Amino acid sequence: MNFLTEIVAFVVAIGVLVVVHEFGHYSVARLCGVKVLRFSVGFGKPLVQWVSKKTGVQWTIAALPLGGYVKMLDEREVDPDSGTTIPAEDLPRAFNRQSVAKRIAIVAAGPIANFLLAIALFSAVFAGGVTEPAAIVSQPAPDTAAAHAGFEGGETVLSMRDAQGGETHPIRSWSDLRWKLLDASFDHRRIVLTAKTHDGTFDFPVTVAGITDEQADQDFMDKLGFAPGGGTLTVAGVEAGSAAQKSGLKAGDMLRAIDGRSVDNATSFIDYVKAHGAKPVTLVIERNGKRESVQIVPDLKHDASTGKEIGRIGAALANQLPTVDVRYGPLESLRLGVNRTWDISIYSLRMFGRMIVGEASLKNLSGPVTIADYAGKSARLGVAAFVSFLALVSISLGVLNLLPIPVLDGGHLLYYLVEAVTGKAVSDRWQLVLQRAGLVCIVALSMIALFNDLARLIRF
């Protein structure tokens, strides 16, 4: 059932993104007076096709749903040896006869359509409202940025600003905090978080300069020492013969502390247990309204995903975090949609640039398998999660197509910008050479992405 969900979600996601991207090219081409011959969703053998009586455009749905294209009338694609020619009355409507400005507009319209879609989707999520974990910080691990800043656990983050001053940005949810810390960690900025505690509201200066790009590529929040807290962690079940059963843990027990550290987050609890395999730890549990201490020795187990020996107690956990309903007005939603799209676009470009120069890991590249996996997971989480995922992938598609790589939209834009500056079109010979080089780049990136997909899938 999960596999079917992933396939359906993936097809829907790719279908929507391809149609929007290609419709950007199509609509601007029509506005510029260019004759469009075919609009295809997918590549390969056509499954369904029809010709519009009004426009004469052939609409096609093809077998391989990993892209699409808009075919326009172009003299360069007519084989002179075949004897085929373009009727004289259609020559002014050929793409290659349009001004540089029109050609730039037509090519840029595809990525722009993806960015506009992302803005619309994010705006809809902000306006429709979404339930998210509250921005309550769990007790941080020692020697992390959060611990050095003075966080002890239980603080509710209200806002963030740069340490050098400037605008104060409100924090409304854990997701909001994550995005703002991601931006700060990528720039290695010092920031100040204002948080509410039991004793009042205080400023917490956080230094994120110690986070490397590779760490930021992974779970940078863990590296900073931030994890959502303020919730309750309950034992949902106990495996027979496990360390949990031997220690007397029962379903329904509420976990309150482990070795003196408060427990309000499943991730930090599990990480602590993993690091203490075959070592006795003391749990404080609450059972029937009374607290008691339980000593437990986590079993030492082999973790196939990491190849390391880790601790495991054999208990299923239920983590209930406090949540907030985040909802904005129409204008504020639009502004936030534009800001979120801009932030993700800039982050994607900078991350890609750092991968090129070797400052960030190529493991960040993902292919269709990972996209399908996340499409299915987000679809199971609900409409808001799937729409947000769709917006994120739409931005990625827009950014990718704007890269100055021949065969992509960005490569064609580079040709036209050179033509606009020099007054001369890039020669067919150079375009052929660059097209081949660009194709090699795309194939190489695709192979790396596919390798990363397989590595995540079979965990090697």
Identify the pLDDT of residue 413. Answer: 92
Tokens in use for 65? 């749903």
Percentage of the residues of the chain whose pLDDT score is greater than 70? 86
| Co-location of 262 and 375 in the same domain | no
Residue 460: predicted pLDDT: 44
Tens-digit pLDDT profile for residues 52-89:
888 889 999 988 877 888 999 988 776 555 556 778 88
Residue 304 inside a domain? The answer is yes
Integer angstrom CA distances of residue 259 from 112, 187, 315: 53, 36, 18
Quick one: which H or E segment has residue 405? Answer: none
Could you tell me if 272 and 258 are in contact, meaning their C-beta atoms sit under 8 angstroms apart? yes
Mean pLDDT of 144-151: 90
Q: Is residue 448 part of a domain?
A: yes
Tokens 């008691």, located at residue: 292
176-201 pLDDT, tens digit per residue, is 898 888 877 776 778 999 999 988 99
Q: Distance between CA 121 and CA 123 in Å, rounded? A: 5
The answer to whether residues 242 and 219 belong to one domain is no
pLDDT digits (tens, 9 = 90+) for 406-437: 888 888 899 899 988 988 888 878 878 878 88
**Does 236 share its domain with 305?**
yes
> pLDDT category, 371, cuts 50, 70, 90?
low
Residue 454, pLDDT score? 60
Is 189 within the bounds of a domain? yes
* End-of-domain residue from the set 201, 224, 247: 224
- What mean pLDDT, rounded, does the chain reach? 84
Q: Which domain holds residue 212?
A: 145-224
| Residue 87, in any domain of the structure | no
Question: What is the structure's pLDDT at 217?
Answer: 47
pLDDT in tens, 311-350: 999 999 998 888 888 888 899 999 989 988 998 888 888 7
406 and 458 share one domain: yes
Shared domain for 333 and 441, answered yes or no, is: yes
State residue 10's pLDDT score. Answer: 78
Token pair listed for 100: 């540089």
Residue 216 scores a pLDDT above 60: no
Residue 236 sits in the same domain as residue 310: yes
Looking from the CA of 209 toward its CB, the CA atoms found within 13 Å total 6
Which CATH number covers residue 193? 2.30.42
Q: Are residues 237 and 203 in the same domain?
A: no
339, 446: one domain: yes
Distance in angstroms between the alpha carbons of the first and the last residue of the chain: 26
Last residue of a domain, one of 272, 293, 315: 315
Same domain? 351 vs 460: yes
pLDDT surpasses 70 at 353: yes
The amino acid occupying position 72 is M
What value does the mean pLDDT take over residues 206-216? 59
Q: Are residues 352 and 304 in the same domain?
A: no
Q: Which residues are catalytic?
A: 22
Q: Is residue 307 located within the same domain as residue 273?
A: yes
Least confident of 76-85, 114-123, 143-152, 405-414: 76-85
Angstrom CA distances, 425 to 78, 421, 431, stand at 19, 10, 10
224, 252, 273 — which closes off a domain? 224
Residue 411 lies in a domain: yes
358 assigned to some structural domain? yes
Q: What is the CATH number of the domain that holds 274?
A: 2.30.42.10
Specify the number of domains making up the chain: 3
Cβ proximity of 416 and 103 under 8 Å: yes
CA dist 441 → 362, 368, 404, 438, 444 (Å): 14, 18, 11, 5, 5
> Are 212 and 184 contained in the same domain?
yes
Q: Is 302 a domain residue? A: yes
pLDDT classification of 273: cutoffs 50, 70, 90: very high
Predicted TM-score of the model (pTM): 0.77
The whole-angstrom separation of Cα 441 and Cα 453 is 18
Q: Which amino acid is at 16?
A: V
